[in-house]
Structure 1
Amino acid sequence: MPTLLFTFDASLTPLLPVAQRERPAARAWPEGATLKHAIETFGVPHTEVGAVHVDGHAALLDALLPARGAVAVAGVRAALPDAPLHFLCDAHLGATARLLRMAGFDTAYDNNYADATIEALADTEDWIVLSRDRELLKRRGIRRGAFIRAREPQAQMREIVARFRLAEAARPFSRCLECNAPLRPLSAEEAAASVPPRVRERQHLFSTCDVCRRVYWPGSHWARMNTSLARMLAPHSDDEVDADAVQGPLRQGGARL
């Protein structure tokens, strides 16, 4: 039975059991166990692992455990993911999914998705799964993902932006918050029948969602929402944001065609 000594870098130690955070952990493993299986028994999903070295040599997660040795596990480095750049939020990240859409990122969310459904979508369509459920992220079909440590939506958004280097890729207010579909420009003439008279008098910039037929315009909350979003997209920002602005209805609009 293989006996190995595991060490985890500082970014991963908060995920370990408290008793194993201060010193390397030695364990015996059954024959046929892989590095992925062994690492995940410590509470670290494979989505959080950036590199593994066995006795100083790089190793793949699917490699079988050696008979003995020292295993060093490093966390992922912050980087903009390869295409496709699209996210799948689990049932507990609904508000965060809305923030990602507000920033212009393709983000799937349905609070009825079961874990097996999320895994299947991630496997077949290569979604980046965002979750606070470590057991979900351990599923083999989820190749790209992130364990979100923050609990509040705005803090979660800042964490995701930092983890995936999203600030430069953001395209604020380019997607429908409800449908996730890209918005397209709408002329004032086309929007006239779908917006209140006072809006027609004051606004000239409109966009629409071709899925749900909502029409959007820069209404009274837009500046406040834009400021809040800019703070969440700013590197190393710990500023408080306006919760009403980012969780309420997008006052760029909401009327249906």
Structure 2
Amino acid sequence: MDDPDTPSVTLRFYEELNDFLPAHKRKRSYRRPLFLSPTVKDVIEAEGVPHGEVDLILVNGASVAFGHRLRDGDRVAVYPMFEALDISPLLRLRPRPLRVPRFILDVHLGKLARRLRMLGFDTLYRNDFGDHEIVEIAAREHRIILTRDIGLLKHGAVTHGYWLRSTRAARQVEEVLERFDLHRLVDPFARCTVCNGEVRGVEKDTILHHLHPGTARTFDVFYQCNDCGKVYWEGAHYDDMCASLSRWLEAPVKGE
């Protein structure tokens, strides 16, 4: 901005919020022209950052809500969600962090949904969910929206959401585990990968009618989904699934 007499605010976005900015605005303070008296939420989203990923805003060093109106000369610092850090002395922009994370995914994330369920996380997914339906369910059931659609996270009713940076499902799993500090909460194979229901151990005799004769002869330990009735056992794919679990849980994500 060339004219120093033009009303403006100084913005600075922190950590992964920089992913939404063009390169010349990342990890630095910069001036933005100010017209009328916009809310800080309006300015943040005009910069391309969805409010669902923001958890703390400081204006001139004081924490403010999304509805705070900006004035010429204000300095605005914007921070991402602090799911793993208690910032209760400051003004959070949502009622509370989701200490027991529950997710809802958009229609493009079916592979990620199956993997998160395999890790034991409550994960809603349907390939016919509409955006408004996702937002309504997330608000009603206190779920975190995971999406590749930045526009979805700009919906006014969204409180908890995350834009996945990667397009690869395996990498997305690592990204979610790191972003929400979930490694210690993993409970492998506790949920049905098909319907998200809880899986429990079951007596072999009660599910024989579901099994092929070869499976019944070879295996003795079985599990069943409480909701859809799908039966699981430690078959040929079990070792591959365990290997995937080990890779995802080895270390925090350091980059793409």
TM-score of Structure 1 vs Structure 2, range by shorter chain: 0.7 to 0.9
Q: Which structure 1 residue ranges, 4+ long, deviate > 4 Å from structure 2?
A: none
Give identity over the alignment, percent: 34
Q: Does 1:66 align with 2:82?
A: no
Q: Equivalences for 1:159-170 in 2 at 5 Å?
A: 159-170=175-186
Q: Deviations over 1:220-256 (max 9, x none)?
A: 1101111112211332268xxxxxxxxxxxxxxxxxx
Q: How far apart are 1:78 and its partner, in Å?
A: 5.4
Equivalent residue pairs, number? 238
Distance in 2, matches of 1:43 and 1:24, equals 16
Q: Equivalences for 1:46-61 in 2 at 5 Å?
A: 46-61=51-66
The answer to whether the Cα contact below 8 Å between 2:13 and 2:28 also exists between their aligned partners in 1 is no
Match of 1:104? Answer: 120
5+ residue gaps, structure 1: 239-257
| TM-score, with structure 1 as normaliser | 0.84
Distance in 2, matches of 1:219 and 1:205, equals 10
Q: Deviations over 1:165-197 (max 9, x none)?
A: 111111111111111111121111112222122
| TM-score, with structure 2 as normaliser | 0.85
5+ residue gaps, structure 2: 1-5, 86-96
Match of 1:223? Answer: 239
Match of 1:254? Answer: none
The answer to whether the Cα contact below 8 Å between 1:17 and 1:43 also exists between their aligned partners in 2 is no
The answer to whether the Cα contact below 8 Å between 1:78 and 1:162 also exists between their aligned partners in 2 is no
Distance in 2, matches of 1:56 and 1:224, equals 50
Q: CA RMSD in A?
A: 2.1
The answer to whether the Cα contact below 8 Å between 2:198 and 2:227 also exists between their aligned partners in 1 is no
Give the counterpart letter for 2:101 in structure 1. L
Residue 12 of structure 1: which of 17, 26, 51 is its match?
17
Q: Equivalences for 1:55-204 in 2 at 5 Å?
A: 55-77=60-82, 79=84, 81-204=97-220
Give the counterpart letter for 1:159 in structure 2. E
The answer to whether the Cα contact below 8 Å between 1:167 and 1:234 also exists between their aligned partners in 2 is no
Tell me the secondary structure at the aligned position of residue 11 of structure 1: helix
Give the counterpart letter for 1:211 in structure 2. D
Distance in 1, matches of 2:27 and 2:40, equals 21
Higher mean C-alpha deviation, range 93-102 or range 50-59:
50-59
